[in-house]
Chain A
Amino acid sequence: MKIQSILLSVLVLLNLTACDNFLDITPTGKVIAETGDEYRALLTYEYNNFTKDRYMTTLRTDEIVMDKSKSSSTDLDAYLDLWRWKDDNPSPTTSYFSWRSYYHAIYIANYIIEHQNEIKEATRDEINQLVGEAYMMRAYNHFLLVNLYAEPYTHCNPRETRGVPMLLKADVNAVPRSSSVDSVYNQVISDLEKAEMSLNVETWELGKNYRFNKVSPQALRSRVYLYMGRWKDALNAAKIVLQSHNALENLNSGTTLPNSFKSAENIVALERYSSNLYTVINMPSGSFIGLYRSGDQRRTKYFKRVTSSTYSLLKGGSDDLVCSFRTAEMYLTAAEASARLNETETAISYLTPLLENRLNASALQNTAELMDNMSQEELIQEIMDERARELAFEGHRWFDLRRTTRPALTRKYDGITYTIQPEQYTMRFPSEAVEANPEIERWD
């Protein structure tokens, strides 16, 4: 009896003296980033979830067709209205371009930039590389946003035109407004400079080559200037990239697709085909296939003939096909910029190495002769077509169309013809974004 009482009293005392350690539970899997590896993991998440919007823009170009009987019903639900430019009242099941995921990547980029001096267990070089990548992440996301949701730089007065909201601080309490198109581009360019100063990895090993490397700011810069119509700057940037990255896959002999992350052409392998995106739709348009001349290896390497008039896509659907920047784009940019500057010979000199790796011998000769006799305008058109042929289904076409002529493309579906209007080359802000922040349309 006594023993019981004593035992109970002891137990009770134990209970009463419970200490703070009891509360020190680290929740399973939760973490506040402190080390270099943890900050790297934060950024890897953004690389991994990078939007596939560039690929989705293909749906709005002349590269793809949809058909009531041949397209799958899930694809029709998700993409039909996007494809037929029914933007005022798309069906509620339609998939549209993202918004928040751009800004989440920007938030993390800002977070890394702001916390760079607190990162533990990492060398200065590792931290600098991480910060450089963060600037690239911020620049590239803002660049994509302004090209999806604001008028083309080349078709507006950029200082007087509404751009997109820019977020330069990791601040959940921000209620931003838009900035002008011009200031967004300026910010992108200034971020590229900062990125350049920090980045120090020349080449990432295979498997990590989705990360931004030392040359990537120049690659993006060439694209930014191209979209701005600053030909000289675009040419210069492309030239610098080509100095270190000029390899091309030879489609006459090789089997690796140039947009594979394993390809010799690869500069940054970031944006991925989502395997359920238009690999199931998988219907390249006949008119687009018509752009390829006979003897062009791409016609059979990129596409597979299914019936006499329909094709399916080989350049998509594999997890290996991951690409944001590659050398072929740099050759094409250099060629276009030169042609626009009326340096036609230089232009042809940038185009030739690419064609040598894409066309068979006779086609190469024919094309060379053709180009020699072209006017500047014809040459520009040829280079634009070459861009379409080479970069097909890689998410370039839409941006190339909108920065140039914004042609009135047409489509037929279920007996009705649809035509895209020039202003439809600019997407409206998603209504959920306007709902969450009604004043983003305003800008100062």
Chain B
Amino acid sequence: MRRIYILIITVLCCIAEAAAQGRVVTGSVTDGEFKGEPLIGAYVTVDGTKEKKNTVTDVNGKFSITVPTTTKSLTVSYIGYQPHTIKLKPNVNKYSITLFPDDKNLEEFIVTGYKQIDRRKLTAAVTTINISDETVGAVKNIDQALAGQVAGLSAQTSSGAPGAPMKIRIRGISSINGVQEPLWVLDGIPMEGNEIPQIDNLNDIDDIYQTSIAGLNPSDIENITVLKDAAATAIYGARAANGVIVITTKKGKEGRPIVNFSTKLTYNPRASIERLNLLNADEKVGLELDLLDSPYDYRQHKGGVANILDELGEFNAYKNGGWNALSGEAQERINRLRTINTDWNDILFRNVFNQEYNVSFSGGSDRAHYYASAGYYTEQGTVKGVENDRFNVTLKSDFKINRMLTVGASVFANQRKQKSYMTDTGGFTNPVYYSRMANPYFEPFDAMGNYIYDTNVQGRESEAPDFNIFEERNNTSKNRKDRSMMAIFDATLKFNSHLKLTSQYGLQHDNYTLKRYAGHNSYAMRKAKEYATFMVDGERKSILPDGGMIKQTEANTDQWTWKTMLEWDNRFNEIHDVELMGGAELRHTETEMLTSTAYGYDERTLTTQPVLFPTESIARRYPLHEEAHTENAYVSWFATGSYTLLYKYTLGGSIRFDGSDVFGVAKKYRFLPLYSVSGLWRANEERFLKNAKWIDELSLRASYGLQGNIDKNTSPYLIGTFDKTSVLPGYIESVISAENAPNPNLKWERTKNVNVGLNLGILNNRIRLSADYYYRRSSDLISSRQLPLETGFSSTTVNWASMENRGWEFALNTRNVVTKNFSWSTNLNLGFNTNKVLNESVAENATYPSREGRPVGAIFAYKTDGLDEDGYPLFVAKDGSRQTAAEFFRLNRFGASTLTAEEQRNLYSYMGTTDPKCSGGFINTFEWGNWMLNANLMFNLGMKVRVQPSYSPTYYDRGLNTNHDILNRWTATNTNTNMPALMYNTAGRVNEYTHFSEYNTFSMLDMWVRSSNYCRLQSLRLGYSIPKNILKPLGISSASLSLEGRNLFVIASNYDNYLDPETMGNPYAQPITRSFIFGLNVNF
């Protein structure tokens, strides 16, 4: 590609002032990378003269310049290449010079996925980062590489589980509904399957979520370009509303074959859970005794103390007579509980050692290039029993068939395996959750090593099936195997130097098999059996046979994309550059899923047993075979064009029509044109700045564009799904289930996008600054709205609001110190985003306030001020008075508010927003001889988080452990506190009790909204390149060693009771652990 551009670059008009006296030096400049290809337009500068004197090479790479006789040397420079100085020898007037690419400089061509754009013509806001260990450290997945690297991109970890995805947002949120993830593009082909579920829904966090980007090996990646404004993303159409991330993989370079081997060995110590402030055995026993003394009777037979009292039949004795009424045995057994302290963290988690190996071969000639790699990566979760591995193979090659035709083919294949065990939908069998909930005095094994069953953690008042977390781990399994293949074929037909036709076909196939197995002796099986208990022949029994249960899911996703583009570019009169491109794209996706279930499963013999269902209606509840199928198709047309004058002024534009199959949508809604216009002014090329030598680059960019999105799941018509059923036994009929509310008024969501940017490079590019201001106005935003249940539906999708995002982004790269042996460079990137909802149509039935005039992540809460004489929260009314819940909400007898919805909305106060006001990264690199030190800091500042209450005042289950807050709750003897009392159903305050237990009020109190600011030392890495003279005898051309610590510390505002400020909202998340990595990289 580069050559094509080089070919079309012609001489810039530069008028060399004629020298009065001197000699004429001629020469030719060639490209060291492309074997003698002439470099056109390279600058040749005469050194040591006061007046500026230079010339550029012609189309053959040749130059001729008259130099003063006193001149000793000439410097040849070319953008993207290392400058070269030649000493002029007396009487030699002909020189040949070879320039080599400057790898340290950013790429001079930006890959947008559709085109490669000369940086000098780039009108869009984009950021490119090179992916190497030096720049991003040892990352497991490419999404982790982006954290803290790009201004305006915020990356948040969802969990510390192996392979947990990052939540990536570019320039804030523009869409509320559904996908907020950017579009990932691999070598020009958009990838399917990267939506990440909402973090709140990830309660089954061991269900390690797989995205298709998780299958890529970071070591195969050359660079990543983040497209931020409409000028860059409009060409991607509707899917690009949240920004685009373009991945460019490595390719072979001309020259002798290069073999690269690298390995990373990682040690992760288990996290400490001291931060959680959980009660120890003594405190927990004390709490349980206190609660038994109090009238708080929710689940009063739960907990170790009640278990002992029930077993000895002394429960009522204690209730009536207290401690002294207990028998000696009871007292002794309760006291013994106080002395047991099971360290759940220690027995459930482990220190782990992970490994990664990669090997690649690459090379090429002038007619073909190849790159092949294989990688293996294995990770063990700090949760015992959780494992994850990945095997990658990448093959990439391109061939120049003749002068016109170039073809390429690449295949990215990987297989991922995950091992885990079954977790209950209730969440408590998740070890992270269990380690927080299990009682500190509970011992999982007896003296003989037999399982002891926990009867307190199931969240049920009545008896629950036996549960032991170790038994569960040993007797259940959940294995997932992913196989993914992405193949890309492309062909370029170059008719002449102005016109070319490119066609690219990408095929993505993802398949996974998920096997869930529960053995006979497991809680999962016991529970399944309990739920399958029916009256059969007058006898109560479970219909499931003895043995285990196996559930297998097979899913296939196939996508193909075929795009074709015709590109034409030309230069007129030496100064006018015109580039035009038009094309079409077809995309087709298909997913299939098949689940089969069998019971009475024996893992050893692989045999199952039939289930004898007593009735047809029961049999319907246990489907043995389920299938699903969806298919979608998309057609798009697009075009871009640009005009550049003198490399100073560029005007560009792009347009795209996206169409898709939308069932039950009027045809006029199928297409919406999305477009952008943009411009660039490179001021440093202006005559008046030409003399300002200290300025290397000064350019201004501006763009405007329209982006849009439509919700495919909502239709103006009542859409149903076919099914079969029998209303009366034995008579099968068709039914149509229509559980999605229709909405005839749904429109496209539109976002108008303005971007103004500045690029500045001064002092020989020692300081480079890129600053952007953007404004995005989104209207007719689509979101799901709760409906009054009386409509027959619970929610629908509506165009509910318009909002704006505005913000600044700065990226400052400085080379602070550059000496022969030592250099220090810094990269500071900052993003400031403010988001405001401009108008919001609040549903008449909504009780949560409108966010109009507030950020979309606005958190509202009820202001409270202390507690009343019963320890119930006191609310602050608008007039400043302190009121009880009954007064504040005007509760009726049933605990429901009698205020209108609007009045209820007005009870809230605004607390802040969940989105960071400022996010960014600060990266320092020190090089000293063969040593290199990198420190990457990333930070997110100015957020609010609504955390889960430490305990529920009505539903605190004493069978579970909790944090110290509960010890500080209001009691008759502890009145100087703001932690509410545990409430019970007294005659006086029944309606308040009902209100706190049934409505979501308690978690909406202001006390559960916390500030969140944090700064994390993402990576600290020390690298050493082994000197060449040591390596040469070994046949090694280069080798380096590194030692890296990731996540060594985090500085944050108060996050007491939580492991990490980043995962504060999610009690199920695995902690983000520290890791220490040793890396070795060898080139042969």
Q: How many residues of A contact B (CB 8 A)?
A: 96
A41–B717 alpha-carbon span in the complex (Å):
16
Smallest CB gap from A261: residue in B = B728
Query: Which B587-634 residues have C-beta < 8 A from chain A?
Result: 614-618, 628-634
Given contacts A175-B845, A319-B617, whether A4 and B405 have CB atoms under 8 Å apart is yes
A320 to chain B, nearest CB (A): 6
Is there contact, CB below 8 Å, between A279 and B535?
yes
Which residues of A have CB within 8 Å of B533?
72, 74, 280
Given contacts A32-B664, A45-B738, whether A89 and B985 have CB atoms under 8 Å apart is yes
Q: Is A428 an interface residue (CB 8 A)?
A: yes
Which residues of A have CB within 8 Å of B793?
100, 104, 107, 172
Q: Mark each residue of chain B from 989 to 1011: 1 if its CB lies under 8 Å from any CB of chain A, else 0.
A: 01001100111100000000000
Q: Is B691 an interface residue (CB 8 A)?
A: no
Given contacts A37-B734, A45-B737, A433-B790, whether A275 and B564 have CB atoms under 8 Å apart is no
Which residues of A have CB within 8 Å of B892?
441
Given contacts A4-B405, A32-B719, whether A23 and B659 have CB atoms under 8 Å apart is yes
A263–B734 alpha-carbon span in the complex (Å):
25
Q: Is B791 an interface residue (CB 8 A)?
A: yes
Which residues of A have CB within 8 Å of B967?
none
Is there contact, CB below 8 Å, between A41 and B734?
yes
Which residues of B have CB within 8 Å of A72?
530, 533, 540
Q: Is A165 an interface residue (CB 8 A)?
A: yes
Which residues of B have CB within 8 Å of A276?
534
Is there contact, CB below 8 Å, between B615 and A23?
no
A22 to chain B, nearest CB (A): 5
Given contacts A74-B533, A108-B738, A436-B787, whether A23 and B564 have CB atoms under 8 Å apart is no
> Which stretch in B678-686, B897-905, B1068-1076 binds the other chain?
B897-905
B736 to chain A, nearest CB (A): 4
A304–B999 alpha-carbon span in the complex (Å):
43
A320–B904 alpha-carbon span in the complex (Å):
49
A4–B736 alpha-carbon span in the complex (Å):
52
Which residues of B have CB within 8 Å of A312?
535, 538
Q: Is A8 an interface residue (CB 8 A)?
A: yes
Which residues of A have CB within 8 Å of B792?
100, 103-108, 167, 170, 172
Which residues of B have CB within 8 Å of A31?
719-722, 736
A73 to chain B, nearest CB (A): 4
Q: Is A444 an interface residue (CB 8 A)?
A: no
Smallest CB gap from B632: residue in A = A25
Q: Mark each residue of chain B from 736 to 771: 1 if its CB lies under 8 Å from any CB of chain A, else 0.
A: 111101110000000000000000000000000000
Is there contact, CB below 8 Å, between B584 and A207?
no
Q: Is B411 an interface residue (CB 8 A)?
A: no
- Chosen A-B contacts, 10 in total, with CB atoms closer than 8 Å, are A5-B493, A12-B501, A23-B634, A29-B723, A31-B721, A31-B722, A89-B954, A276-B534, A319-B728, A433-B790
A: residues with CB less than 8 A from B are 1, 4-5, 8-9, 11-12, 15-16, 18, 20, 22-33, 37-38, 41-42, 44-45, 47-48, 72-74, 76-77, 80, 88-89, 91-93, 99-100, 103-108, 111, 165, 167, 170-176, 206-210, 261, 269, 272, 274-276, 279-280, 282, 304, 312, 314, 317-320, 322, 428-429, 431-442
Q: Is B1031 an interface residue (CB 8 A)?
A: no
Q: Mark each residue of chain B from 630 to 646: 1 if its CB lies under 8 Å from any CB of chain A, else 0.
A: 11111100000000000
Is there contact, CB below 8 Å, between B717 and A32?
yes
Given contacts A165-B790, A176-B788, whether A208 and B615 have CB atoms under 8 Å apart is no
Is there contact, CB below 8 Å, between B633 and A107?
no
Q: What 8 A-B pairs are tightest by C-beta distance, nearest first?
A: A107-B792, A207-B731, A437-B788, A73-B462, A319-B729, A104-B792, A45-B735, A41-B736
A269–B727 alpha-carbon span in the complex (Å):
10
Is there contact, CB below 8 Å, between A44 and B503?
no
Is there contact, CB below 8 Å, between A44 and B540?
no
Greatest chain B CB density within 10 A among A12, A105, A317 is at: A12
Q: Mark each residue of chain B from 652 to 666: 1 if its CB lies under 8 Å from any CB of chain A, else 0.
A: 000000011101100
Which residues of B have CB within 8 Å of A106?
792
B12 to chain A, nearest CB (A): 34
Q: Mark each residue of chain B from 211 to 244: 1 if its CB lies under 8 Å from any CB of chain A, else 0.
A: 0000000000000000000000000000000000
Given contacts A25-B661, A174-B791, A175-B845, whether A42 and B720 have CB atoms under 8 Å apart is yes
Is there contact, CB below 8 Å, between B895 and A88?
yes
Smallest CB gap from A87: residue in B = B894
A100–B997 alpha-carbon span in the complex (Å):
22
Given contacts A15-B564, A88-B994, whether A174 and B790 have CB atoms under 8 Å apart is yes
Is there contact, CB below 8 Å, between A12 and B564?
yes
Is there contact, CB below 8 Å, between A275 and B540?
no
Given contacts A89-B997, A103-B789, A319-B617, whether A441 and B896 have CB atoms under 8 Å apart is yes
B832 to chain A, nearest CB (A): 37
Given contacts A73-B460, A92-B955, A167-B790, whether A22 and B586 have CB atoms under 8 Å apart is yes
Query: Which B704-725 residues have C-beta < 8 A from chain A?
Result: 715, 717-723, 725
Is there contact, CB below 8 Å, between B660 and A23?
yes
Q: Which of B733, B788, B899 contacts A436 (CB 8 A)?
A: B788
A8–B564 alpha-carbon span in the complex (Å):
10
Q: Which of B727, B733, B794 contacts A100 (CB 8 A)?
A: B794
Smallest CB gap from B845: residue in A = A437
A23–B659 alpha-carbon span in the complex (Å):
8
Q: Is B562 an interface residue (CB 8 A)?
A: yes
Smallest CB gap from A100: residue in B = B789
A72–B542 alpha-carbon span in the complex (Å):
12
12 additional A-B residue pairs with CB within 8 Å, beyond A15-B503, A23-B660: A1-B401, A9-B493, A15-B563, A18-B586, A29-B722, A80-B462, A103-B792, A208-B728, A275-B534, A428-B896, A435-B847, A438-B900
A431–B995 alpha-carbon span in the complex (Å):
9
Is there contact, CB below 8 Å, between A275 and B615?
yes
Which residues of B have CB within 8 Å of A104?
739, 792-793
